[in-house]
Structure 1
Amino acid sequence: MSLNRTAASTRSALGDLPRNVWVTTITSFLTDVSSEMVLNLVPLFLANVLGVRTGVVGLIEGLAEMTASLLKVFSGWLSDRLGQRKRLAVAGYGLSTLSKPFLYLASSWGWVLAVRFADRVGKGIRTAPRDALIADSITERNRGLAFGLHRAGDTAGAMVGLLIALGIVWAAQGRALSLGRPAFQTVVLVSIIPAALAVLVLAWGARDVPAPTDRPST
């Protein structure tokens, strides 16, 4: 009986979550499906197809992640100043989506670095405004549930993306031990679909709301 009451209470709480929480969760799920499809294969593409040394692979990933981390502070500050959480988040997701097709044409590690840099710039721009949008949309009572749901969407998307990528590679080249360019290019093309859907969901579904300190007292 206790478990039934807990399950019913959880379902009720989920149903009470505002629109923005569900929209950002779906957006993050789709984005992680797309990102994990490609990102898990980029090091293999660099090493197996382009013949890049391990140290260069590490440099590319390190610079990309550092870029995202530094930009999060600026984008969070900017979203506070402008009060435009949604617009910045959409811009960040859009930039990451637009950068992905260029991996299809990548012919050197410098090209891959440029694409990864643009993708992480997009992540740096979107992360803080998106989280602030979630925080602005919820109350203290459902804060933990809202962010827990969003992170669960992130994780689920990453798992689904990895499985899709593995399925595509297996279908494209069977039991070949080394990743080939055609298989990687197919994954890149397919990954554009969930990435584009994520931008559309956020652009059409999310709504900017006044920050708690800006809301009129009642």
Structure 2
Amino acid sequence: MYRRQVLTWLAVGVAIAAVSGLLGGGVLGYRYASNQGEAALAGLQRDHAVASTEASRRALVRYQAETELGGKLAQAVIDQRVQIATLQQQLKRRIPHVTTVYQPTPGAVPVALPRVVLTRGFLRDWNRGFGLPTDDTTTATGRAAPAGTDALAADSWLLGDDLLDSGASLADVLQHAQDYGAWCQRQAVQRDKLIDLAQGHE
């Protein structure tokens, strides 16, 4: 009987020790896993912070480069517009010189240019060629063109007053060509700088 009790107590003690060992191991295992998890999380947070800082640095560098490029291109547009305006002023000063007199032969004394008659048809076609509005309201017969009808297609391609003097001079035509040329040059400068800016972003 005594021996049975000892064995029973011994079995109970072994069971308690086993349970205690399991509980202790479980607690230690939990703490170990928890510490490992916290360390891994801290590592991820550090990596994320480093990556975020690097991404911000790269974005700032790119922003500064694009801002600098934009500033340079804007200044180039301004400089070229000034050059275009200066050229236009020089050309406009030459208009009277090249539209009022001419030399019949090299070295001859300049004489007055004969008046060049620019017809209304010439002026209409000139404006139409530049996409400008015209006063095409009559047909070749002198009747008003029907509403919504292209005057060129109505009755004939000739208008009733096509051959009348428009009153425009060579100087007017040359000034218009210079103004339009300056506009074209400004558009080309802007186009080229926008292309440069787009290529700078790539």
* TM-score interval for Structure 1 and Structure 2 normalised by the shorter chain: under 0.3
TM, length-normalised to structure 2 = 0.26
| Structure showing greater relative contact order (alpha-carbon pairs closer than 8 Å, 6 or more residues apart) | 1
Structure exhibiting the larger radius of gyration computed from Cα positions? 2
Q: Which has the higher helix share?
A: 1
